[in-house]
Structure 1
Amino acid sequence: MAKKSVKVVVEGGNVKPGPPLAPTLSQLGLNVGEVVKKINEATAQFKGMSVPVTLDVDTDTKKYDISVGVPTTTSLLLKKAGAESPSGDPEHKKVGNLNIQDVVEIALSKKPSLTAKSLKAAVKSILGTAKSIGLTVDGKDPIAVVKEVEEGKYNDILNPGEKKWEEN
């Protein structure tokens, strides 16, 4: 029983049956149209976001499993902020604004793929990404919000979330 894993990052609900995915699926003897349809169904809830997908294929039986990961931090931030794409000039051109609660929710959803030891550390990491793509948080530069997190300004929001962080 030979197993093969194919890892791709796709646009949720909008995978096309073309390169680079189609040639790989064809080499494995899979029906490209059928697999693309199933990936689109599995990623529909992440429409418009970049989503990691893993296809585990049994090359003998041609059976496969689709595993959908959590969208990229950038995709989650842009969706929450209602922005189309990252700023080409994040220092001078802002593309959207979120509130601190949005940042905490994203940090909690990204926990499996983050190396942060605490929710506070994860939130600071997410704030760094927000800055790099041209977002503000509560109308402020994300780096100013990082300082406020360090000073304890958001402990009322972070402390209940910290329990969720430790449970998962």
Structure 2
Amino acid sequence: MAKKSIKVVVEGGNVKPGPPLAPTLSQLGLNVGEVVKKINEATSQFKGMTVPVTLDVDTDTKKYEVSVGVPTTTSLLVKKAGASGPSGDPEHKKIGNISMDDVIEVAISKKPSLTAKELKGAVKSILGTAKSIGLTVDNKDPKLVVREVEEGKYDDKIKEMEEKWSSG
């Protein structure tokens, strides 16, 4: 029983039956339309967001399984801000504002792919991404918010969410 894993990053609910996925699926003898439909169904809750997908294919039986990962940090933040995409010039062109609660939620949802051992570290990482895509947090530059996190200004809020982080 030969297994093959195909990892792709797609727009949730909007995969098209074309390259680069279609040729790979065809080579494995899979029905491209059917697989694309399954991926779109599996990722429909992440419409408009970039999301990693893994296809585990049994090359003998042609059976496959679709596994959906967590969307990228950028996608999650852009969605929270209600923006259309990241800023091409984050220093001068802001795309929106999010709350510290939004930052913490994203940090918790990204836990499996972050290297941070504690929620506070994860929050600082997410704040870095927020800065790099042109977001403000609580109407402040994320760099300033990182400093406030380090100074303990958000300790109570982070502590409240620590249980979600630990169980995630």
Give the TM-score range, shorter chain.
Answer: over 0.9
Deviation, 1:157, is 1.0
Q: Are 2:110 and 1:81 equivalent residues in the alignment?
A: no
Deviation, 1:164, is 2.1
Paired residue type of 2:80: K
Deviation, 1:161, is 1.4
Deviation, 1:160, is 1.7
Q: Are 2:14 and 1:21 equivalent residues in the alignment?
A: no
Deviation, 1:163, is 2.2
Q: Are 2:40 and 1:40 equivalent residues in the alignment?
A: yes
Name the structure 2 match of 1:158.
Answer: 158
> Structure 1-normalised TM-score?
0.99
Paired residue type of 2:41: E
**Aligned partners of 1:167 and 1:79: how far apart in 2?**
24
**Aligned partners of 1:135 and 1:23: how far apart in 2?**
38
Runs of 4+ deviating beyond 4 Å: none
> Structure 2-normalised TM-score?
0.99
Superposed CA deviations along residues 68-89 of structure 1, whole A, max 9, x for unmatched, are 0000000000000001011111
**Aligned partners of 1:138 and 1:93: how far apart in 2?**
17
Name the structure 2 match of 1:113.
Answer: 113
**Aligned partners of 1:25 and 1:163: how far apart in 2?**
41
Q: State percent identity of aligned pairs.
A: 81
Q: Are 2:128 and 1:140 equivalent residues in the alignment?
A: no
Name the structure 1 match of 2:50.
Answer: 50
Deviation, 1:110, is 0.3
Superposed CA deviations along residues 80-118 of structure 1, whole A, max 9, x for unmatched, are 000101111100110110000000000000001101010
Unaligned 5+ segments in structure 1 are: none
**Aligned partners of 1:87 and 1:141: how far apart in 2?**
14
**Aligned partners of 2:19 and 2:164: how far apart in 1?**
40
SS in 2 for 1:18: coil
Paired residue type of 1:111: K
Unaligned 5+ segments in structure 2 are: none
**Aligned partners of 2:76 and 2:100: how far apart in 1?**
14
Name the structure 1 match of 2:149.
Answer: 149
Superposed CA deviations along residues 32-89 of structure 1, whole A, max 9, x for unmatched, are 0000000000000000000000000000000000000000000000000001011111
Paired residue type of 2:149: V
Deviation, 1:155, is 1.3
SS in 1 for 2:121: helix
Paired residue type of 2:26: S
